[in-house]
Structure 1
Amino acid sequence: MNVRSSRALALCRFSAAVAVSMMTCPSAEAESSATLYGLVGLDVASTKRSDGPPRSFAEQSPGLTAPFWGLRITEELGGGYRVVAALESFFQPVNGGIGRTSADPLWGRNAYVGIAGPFGTVTLGRQTNLLYLAEQAVNPFQASILFSPLVMQTFTAPYGGAIAGDTVWNNAIQYRTPNLSGLTATAVFAPGGIAGSDSTFNAGLSTLYANGSLTAVATVQRTRVVAGVAAPTQIAYIAGAAYDFSRFKLYGALQGTRTDATDISTKTYEAGLALPLTSRFSILAEWAYTHRSATRGVTSSRNTGTAGLDYFLSKRTDVYLLGVYDRLAGHATAMTYATGIRHSF
């Protein structure tokens, strides 16, 4: 390598370092900051669903958690007020694709801006569904759409997907109260943007209490817009809690839906356990049962359970081994097995 090439390479490295430092360090003059963060992970799985196609074997992302990267932006305005914004994108490590699937937009996870202050926080844009956030607080597999039975039976169509719509809402106007000794409340209103139909909108209300060993949630939502199109009105709710007994943590929830026009209703019961064996090694287990009924239709029920081991190699990296039991009434039992790795940054 000649001197000119060496200097060019050094300049490129310096420029990259400066760019990263600008993204992660606040500017004293502008009193603003932008932080890069995210998660990358995938697993190798042998997958079979009770009422599904033949068994498949492949690498898969999202794995235990859907990979994403994002920018968190803040700017201090003075007097305890600040601008807050986030841009977050899902991606697929298995093939380099954008989104959880090709149907996702670039900023598919969150894309919002707002004001935070002593009054609370108001944000506008694409934002994570409140019921999905509530589910994450009361199950040991948190946001997993492939391994949390509660989330699977709520948002994953192949497992019955009881909830209308996605885990993220478009056009959302959201208000969150200040934290009052562990208690916060959040309200969201999402105009449908459908001409001549102002009453066609989505709305939700959620309360969260997290203090000491106890976490408790209660959330209700009304959905009338799905993928930008008017849909039958659905009312959905969840009430649940998690309690950390130090030696182990228990989870439980009751969730339900009622959809007009179709007269379909569902009830889901969920229980979970996190059992730390060491500071790095845990056993995780969760079970969910959903009963679906219709005034003029066939009833059905589904049992899904997940159990496995989770080992943290470091503060930000863990490996896991999981098994999923699934049985839809009238169909054969099926098992899924997966092993994977996650790294957060």
Structure 2
Amino acid sequence: MHVRSLPALALCVAGLSVSHCAWAQTSVTLYGLVGLDMASSKRSGGPPATLMQQAPGLTAPYWGIKTAEDLGGGTRAIAVLESFFQPDTGGMGRTSADPFWGRNSYVGLEGRFGKLTFGRHTNLMYLGEQTLNPFQASILFSPLVMQTFVASYGGAIAGDTVWNDGIQYSSPNLNGLKATAVYALGGKPGAPGIYNTAASLHYTSGAFTAVATVQRNRIVAGAAAPSQDAYLAGAAYDFTWLKLYGAIQGTRTNATDIGSHTYEVGASVPLTAQLSLLGEWANTRRTAPRGVATTRNTAAAGLDYAFSKRTDVYAVSVYDRQSGGATAMTYALGIRHLF
């Protein structure tokens, strides 16, 4: 929806049949995703399988508001406010620990020079992973995301999938190449060296996509933490009848000399115009001083059926096994709806 005043926004939101209201060169858009699934969930080395209704599914549910104002000369003022929520319980956030605008909340300028924004941004490493696996952003079904960002699966990367206090710049698209860098202030009095920083390159040419990302993390859950360096590199190629994905990721926590290496491959196959087969496998090997090492293998397979461009249903199974643990399986049936 497009508006130029808060009263107008209230009228547009109240009139649910109205999707867009427009005046002059200012716009406000309301959007989001609702999704959940029924799952029997079990991870290797974890508690017994539990039958539950869970909200993250293939995509964590969210809603958002974005606004843009044309300032002339090809420049726009922009702002984004996005909030996670839990449709199974009605709760806000992914968990109660999330802030209200937990997904993104930033303001900035966009134009021929690129985009410069200030605030809370989705982590560049997490965005890169979404491009390099068929399950995209899923923290429950993408083995790559699970093994690197989910604590219960050994989460190799320190910190959250969203960073606070960021100053982020994205370049214009230069013949398929786009660069992004972020510096996230620590805000710690007397500790100017406490910050998070990351940079990424994203290249697309026809059916080929490549991603490279590096980051240094010094802040976890709002507090100073040991410095961790991480990298991600990978590519995807769409043959039309088959799309292949591959990635390698590594971390090193400098204070403890603990590191990890993750390798991932995936594929998606359009069986019909509406039905796709998804598959992915990831292996993470974590090393610690004195040669101690552990490994984890996680694989996922699923079917995704699109009723339309906005609504789909899916069935997914996940295999998981870590060093010293038994094999565990997860099964889920879910639905997603975009608005």
What TM-score, normalized to structure 1?
A: 0.93
Check conservation: 2:12, 2:21, Cα contact below 8 A.
no
User: Residue 298 of structure 1: CA displacement?
Assistant: 2.7
Deviations 1:6-35 (A, max 9, x none): xxxxxxxx956775588733322xx11011
**Structure 1 position 154 matched with structure 2 position 148:** yes
Match runs of 1:106-125 below 5 Å: 106-125=100-119
**Structure 1 position 127 matched with structure 2 position 121:** yes
1:281 to 254, 275, 278: 275
User: Residue 199 of structure 1: CA displacement?
Assistant: 1.0
1:281 is aligned with what amino acid?
Answer: L
**Structure 2 stretches of 5 or more lacking a match?**
1-9
Partner SS, residue 262 of structure 1? coil
1:34 to 23, 28, 37: 28
Counterpart-to-counterpart distance in 2, 1:297 and 1:191:
35
Distance 1:178 1:21, change over 3 A: farther
1:334 to 328, 332, 336: 328
Distance 1:22 1:33, change over 3 A: farther
**Structure 1 position 222 matched with structure 2 position 216:** yes
Check conservation: 2:286, 2:293, Cα contact below 8 A.
yes
Distance 1:318 1:121, change over 3 A: same
Counterpart-to-counterpart distance in 2, 1:93 and 1:18:
21
Quick one: percent identity of the two aligned structures? 64
Partner of 1:8: none
Partner SS, residue 148 of structure 2? helix
User: Residue 329 of structure 1: CA displacement?
Assistant: 1.2
1:53 to 34, 47, 50: 47
Partner of 1:79: 73
Check conservation: 2:12, 2:19, Cα contact below 8 A.
no
Partner SS, residue 284 of structure 1? strand
1:238 is aligned with what amino acid?
Answer: L
Counterpart-to-counterpart distance in 1, 2:78 and 2:188:
28
Match runs of 1:189-268 below 5 Å: 189-268=183-262
Deviations 1:29-71 (A, max 9, x none): xx11011111000000001111100110010011111000001
Counterpart-to-counterpart distance in 1, 2:18 and 2:229:
45
Distance 1:36 1:264, change over 3 A: same
Distance 1:47 1:119, change over 3 A: same
Distance 1:86 1:54, change over 3 A: same
2:100 is aligned with what amino acid?
Answer: L
1:282 is aligned with what amino acid?
Answer: S
**Structure 1 position 24 matched with structure 2 position 16:** no
Partner of 1:182: 176
Check conservation: 1:23, 1:34, Cα contact below 8 A.
no
2:91 to 85, 89, 97: 97
**Structure 1 position 166 matched with structure 2 position 160:** yes
2:58 is aligned with what amino acid?
Answer: L
Counterpart-to-counterpart distance in 2, 1:82 and 1:22:
25
Counterpart-to-counterpart distance in 2, 1:262 and 1:104:
29
Check conservation: 1:24, 1:36, Cα contact below 8 A.
no
Distance 1:17 1:40, change over 3 A: closer
What TM-score, normalized to structure 2?
A: 0.95
**Structure 1 stretches of 5 or more lacking a match?**
1-13
Partner of 1:5: none
**Structure 1 position 304 matched with structure 2 position 294:** no
Partner of 2:4: none
User: Residue 257 of structure 1: CA displacement?
Assistant: 0.2
Check conservation: 2:83, 2:102, Cα contact below 8 A.
yes
Partner of 2:82: 88
Partner SS, residue 136 of structure 1? helix
Structure with larger Rg = 1
User: Residue 216 of structure 1: CA displacement?
Assistant: 0.4
Deviations 1:279-314 (A, max 9, x none): 110000000000000123631000000001000011
User: Residue 328 of structure 1: CA displacement?
Assistant: 0.3
2:321 is aligned with what amino acid?
Answer: R
Match runs of 1:8-19 below 5 Å: 15=11
Partner of 2:3: none
Partner SS, residue 287 of structure 1? strand
Check conservation: 1:25, 1:35, Cα contact below 8 A.
no
Counterpart-to-counterpart distance in 1, 2:206 and 2:144:
24
1:322 to 316, 321, 324: 316
Deviations 1:219-268 (A, max 9, x none): 00000111221100000000000000111000000000000122110000
1:47 is aligned with what amino acid?
Answer: S
User: Residue 211 of structure 1: CA displacement?
Assistant: 2.5
Partner SS, residue 279 of structure 1? coil
Counterpart-to-counterpart distance in 2, 1:200 and 1:18:
45
Distance 1:343 1:84, change over 3 A: same
- What is the aligned length? 330
Partner of 1:145: 139
